[in-house]
């Protein structure tokens, strides 16, 4: 957690969410880069305690996003967690990172020619992942949630326009790998997201943002590739097995009924009280 004696530059470099919090208080992170938080707040007539409190809240929610044990979650609850935590994070962070990358590339600093490529990669990541989230939420996750909700009573998986789950799941895994390759390229271009000594606070905050982004993506992909998708595929296989069993039972029942109907047709009529009386014989002799 940052201290009031730390400089704005240090604070944005160690806490990913700090730049956003400070901007909300109208603290220009470039202009006040070398001032301590205390000095910047005094100059702007802000309460340093209030700023520290907001920084602490933001740090707590950053850590809260990672400290999750999804082992006991149902598939629907796990999807809800992924969307609320990781998808929302991406929708918030990707435009922010793309904007910062554009700003830094636009400076054309001869000391950092790599920013041209960094901007391109961040933009590619933004476009690819926003499209990926939409596909997951609108197609795959809604199918898995529907399958999970009916799992106790259903005798087969819900109908899907994509055939079986294996196809969209393999597409999503391929897209995760592609996003991870882009992040690895960014890590290499930025020397492990380590800002140079001369870096301005926007530059430091951007690298801190990329580092946090890498960590969040790792957690997000782990939840989907290693927990959600294998469990959803197993449930689909279980529902298919249940469906085949039900079909076999129906076939056996139909076979029995057809056989019974045929036997009834070929047997001679049985005598009983309902048969017409035969001449010269009493009812008793027909019983």
Residues that bind Fe ion (CB under 5 A): 136, 172, 224
Helices then strands (H, E): number in the chain?
Answer: 12, 0
For 7, list phi and psi in degrees, rounded to 5: -75, 160
Question: Which is closer to Fe ion, CB of 216 or CB of 224?
Answer: 224
If one counts every other C-beta atom within 10 angstroms of the C-beta of residue 93, the result is 20
Question: Which is closer to Fe ion, CB of 206 or CB of 213?
Answer: 213
Residue 209 to residue 119: CA distance in whole angstroms: 14
Question: Which is closer to Fe ion, CB of 224 or CB of 236?
Answer: 224
- Kindly state the smallest distance separating residue 144's Cβ from Fe ion, in Å: 12
Residue 85 to residue 70: CA distance in whole angstroms: 13
Residue 273 to residue 279: CA distance in whole angstroms: 15
- Kindly state the smallest distance separating residue 82's Cβ from Fe ion, in Å: 5
- Kindly state the smallest distance separating residue 136's Cβ from Fe ion, in Å: 5
- Kindly state the smallest distance separating residue 220's Cβ from Fe ion, in Å: 6
Question: Which is closer to Fe ion, CB of 31 or CB of 166?
Answer: 166
Residue 32 to residue 65: CA distance in whole angstroms: 30
Question: Which is closer to Fe ion, CB of 172 or CB of 235?
Answer: 172
Question: Which is closer to Fe ion, CB of 207 or CB of 213?
Answer: 213
69 vs 185, 222, 235, CA distance in Å?
30, 12, 20
Helix axes 115-135, 166-189, angle to 10 degrees: 160
Q: Residue holding tokens 């009834």?
A: 264
- Kindly state the smallest distance separating residue 26's Cβ from Fe ion, in Å: 34
- Kindly state the smallest distance separating residue 61's Cβ from Fe ion, in Å: 19
Residue 165 to residue 173: CA distance in whole angstroms: 12
């Amino acid at each position: 957690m940052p201290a009031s004696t730390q400089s704005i530059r240090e604070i944005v470099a160690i806490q990913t969410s700090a730049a956003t919090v400070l901007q909300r208080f109208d603290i220009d992170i470039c202009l006040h880069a070398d001032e301590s938080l205390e000095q910047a707040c005094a100059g702007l007539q802000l309460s340093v305690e209030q700023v520290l409190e907001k920084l602490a809240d933001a740090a707590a929610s950053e850590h809260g996003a990672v400290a999750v044990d999804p082992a006991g979650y149902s598939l629907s609850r796990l999807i809800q967690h992924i969307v609320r935590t990781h998808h929302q994070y991406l929708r918030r962070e990707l435009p922010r990172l793309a904007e910062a990358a554009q700003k830094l590339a636009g400076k054309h600093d001869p000391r950092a020619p790599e920013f041209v490529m960094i901007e391109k990669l961040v933009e590619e990541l933004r476009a690819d992942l926003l499209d990926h989230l939409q596909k997951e939420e609108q197609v795959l996750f809604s199918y898995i949630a529907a399958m999970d909700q009916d799992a106790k009573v259903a005798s087969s998986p819900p109908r899907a326009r994509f055939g079986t789950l294996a196809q969209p799941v393999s597409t999503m895994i391929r897209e995760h790998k592609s996003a991870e390759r882009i992040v690895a390229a960014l890590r290499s271009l930025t020397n492990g997201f380590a800002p140079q000594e001369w870096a301005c606070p926007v530059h430091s905050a951007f690298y801190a943002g990329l580092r946090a982004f890498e960590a969040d993506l790792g957690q997000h992909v782990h939840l989907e590739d290693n927990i959600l998708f294998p469990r959803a595929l197993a449930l689909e296989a279980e529902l298919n097995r249940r469906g085949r069993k039900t079909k076999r039972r129906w076939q056996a029942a139909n076979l029995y009924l057809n056989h019974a109907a045929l036997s009834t047709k070929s047997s001679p009529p049985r005598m009983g009280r309902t048969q017409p009386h035969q001449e010269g014989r009493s009812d008793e002799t027909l019983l």
